Structure 1
């Protein structure tokens, strides 16, 4: 939605082809995401149709969000850096807290997450400051 909003707003760096390629990449990524939802539902005894519907519904929010983003492009584009920063931070949190299990174990599991965030922030600050 953001790519199409930028294209429709006349950003010369965004082409229709690049917006389409990004959309296709997201659509391809939705297939395994839907399977991750559908397969456990089927294994728990749901019918094939209900399991498939659950997988489809897990991805239906993305096109809705894209349309809403295009409609609200004038409001979204100026705030885009902040939205993307928030999304990146949320994804980093998920990676650190859920996908690196050793860091999340033990009595003081939040210390690893906090120091990862501090280290990442220092490195990003140095990257921006030193070019």
Structure 2
């Protein structure tokens, strides 16, 4: 139980640490740094989706052949994409790169809608950590405790720049440094909560484990494709996001293979 609690809290600590950078940085984050960090976060999430989630989902039933082996991974992946698409559609939110809100019309403040956008972003990461921890605890998913720890550490590392990317726009909106730090930190609270919910579900329904692994992968890749990559690819400095992606992808791949 202590290992699970630690695994859930490590990514949250990364978000808090990143949000604290608002106390040390200027009002606006340099565009070059933001592009690099967005690329880095994308690389970590893509690598985690493949090595920590999709591959274990495919390997969950080594006795199955052909289509029977791939159905859980394919179905869960598409369900994860559809789930985030639905959340994106029904939740009023605002991305940092635009002034046009998405989702239903609302009278919420810009700060509130920015916070909701970040919450949508962080939910899949919490689910991913939770399902990997559940897989390691069950012993049936081929995921080791070290592999689960690698996942938590990898998400925590990418949460550090993410925390800064969250808190700095809050500061630019006119919020105080402490308010920006608090909002940025609380945005990461959805991760341990989402992870805990997934752990409780998989504990009750062990057969859904391969579906949940690929579901989390689909949800994370939705965020990468819908939000991170478009923002990171905007000119200028898009080449820095590519470099950041390569570094993040390689780091997460190495963590998962070496510790897993």
Q: Which residue matches 2:145?
A: 16
SS in 2 for 1:72: helix
Answering whether residue 144 of structure 2 is matched by residue 26 of structure 1, we say no
Give matches, 1:49-60, under 5 Å.
49-60=178-189
Q: Which residue of 1 aligns with 2:164?
A: 35
What's the secondary structure of 2:209's corresponding residue? helix
Q: Which structure has the higher relative contact order (CA within 8 Å, separation 6+)? A: 2
**Structure 2 match to 1:79:** 211
Taking structure 2 as the reference length, the TM-score comes to 0.34
- For 1:38 and 1:81, the matched residues in 2 are separated by 30
* Residue range with higher mean Cα deviation, 76-85 or 90-99: 90-99
Give unmatched runs, 5+ long, in structure 2. Answer: 1-129, 236-260
Shift of 1:84: 4.2
Higher helix share: 1
**Separation in 2 of the partners of 1:66 and 1:80?**
11
Deviations 1:26-71 (A, max 9, x none): 1111111111111121123211110001111221111111111111
TM-score (norm 1): 0.63
Q: 2-side partners of 1:41 and 1:95: how far apart?
A: 18
Correspondence 1:45 to 2:174 = yes
What does the per-residue CA deviation read over 1:48-100, in whole Å, with 9 as the maximum and x for residues that have no partner? Answer: 11000111122111111111111111434142255146326624641698345
Structure 1: runs of 5+ lacking an equivalent: 103-131
> Do the aligned partners of residues 17 and 55 (structure 1) sit closer, same or farther apart at CA in structure 2, a change above 3 Å counting?
same
Larger radius of gyration between Structure 1 and Structure 2? 1
**Compared CA separation, residues 97 and 27, structure 1 to 2 (3 A):** closer
Count of residue pairs brought into register by the alignment: 102
* Moved beyond 4 Å, runs of 4+: 99-102
